[in-house]
Chain A
C-alpha cells in the first residue's frame, strides 16, 4: 500500500534551519510529484510547492520562495524539505503529499510538527 513516512517533530531556534524527510513506499516513486503543505491554526492549509521526483525540477508558491527548498533522493525514494531562517511564524505542521498534479492530493504523510522557539 502507498505510504509516506515523515521524520519526527522538530524544535528549532529562530534563525536556524530544519530539514524534514518524507520516505515513499508502495508505488513507483518517480511517477508522481511530491508536494508540501503547511498547516497552522491561523492560516489553515497553505501550498508550499512541489518537486518533480523524476527530474528534480521544483515549483514554489511565491510566498515560500527563499523559505523552503525541496530536494529528492531517488535512490531511497525520499523527498526532503529544508526550511531556513526560521521564525515563530514557521511553527506549523508540515505534510508531504503525493500529487497527481492540479491539486489532486491522494496520499498524505502523517505530518511533522515544527516548533520555532528560543
Chain B
C-alpha cells in the first residue's frame, strides 16, 4: 500500500501566521491518465473530516482561498496563508491513485 508521510505531526501557529504542511508519498501519485489524485482533509475537534482541496490544488466549494495546495509526483504541500481560529484541527492528505486509498498520519494545527 502507498504510505503517505505528513510533516510536521504538530504545528503551533498564531492567528494570521502562514503555515505549510508536507505530505510525501512512497510512490508517485501521477495516474496513468495524467491526473494526480491527492486530496486534503481537515478534521476539526469533535467533527467529521471535511474536504478542503482535491486533485492537488483545486479548492472545494465553500473553502476559503487562504488554503492552497501544490506539488507533484511524491511531494505535496498544503499552505494556509493567514491562519484563523476556525482552521484549528487535524489535517490529512489522502491518495486515490493506487488502491487501496490511503491517508497520511495527520498534522495537528494548534494555537501557539
User: Taking beta carbons and an 8 Å cutoff, which residues of A are in contact with B?
Assistant: 44-47, 49, 59, 61-63, 95, 101-106, 108-111
A110 touches B48 (CB 8 A): yes
Are A105 and B103 in contact, CB atoms less than 8 angstroms apart? Answer: no
Instruction: Judge whether A105 and B37 touch: CB under 8 Å.
Output: no
- Extra contacts, 19 of them, besides A46-B103, A105-B94 (Cβ < 8 A), are A47-B101, A49-B100, A61-B100, A95-B48, A102-B101, A103-B39, A103-B94, A103-B97, A103-B101, A104-B37, A104-B39, A104-B96, A105-B39, A105-B49, A105-B51, A106-B60, A108-B50, A109-B48, A111-B48
**B21 CB → nearest A CB, Å:** 15
Cβ-neighbour of A102 out of B37, B48, B92, B103 (below 8 A)? B37
B106 interface hit (Cβ, 8 Å): yes
Complex alpha-carbon distance, A44 and B99, angstroms: 18
Asked if A47 meets B100 with Cβ closer than 8 Å, knowing A103-B39, A104-B39, A104-B54, the reply is: yes
Q: Give a binary string over B84-107; 1 marks a CB under 8 Å from any A CB, 0 the rest.
A: 000000001011110111111110
Those 8 A-B pairs whose CB atoms lie nearest each other, nearest first: A103-B96, A102-B96, A61-B100, A108-B48, A45-B103, A103-B101, A102-B37, A47-B101
Closest to B6 in A: A44
**In the assembled complex, B41 has its CB within 8 A of some CB on chain A:** yes
Contact between chains at B48 and A103 (CB < 8 Å): no
Chain B residues, Cβ within 8 Å of A62: 100
A sample of 12 inter-chain contacts (CB < 8 A) reads A44-B104, A44-B105, A47-B103, A49-B100, A102-B37, A102-B97, A103-B95, A103-B96, A104-B37, A106-B60, A108-B49, A108-B50
A99 and B103 alpha carbons, distance in the complex (Å) = 15
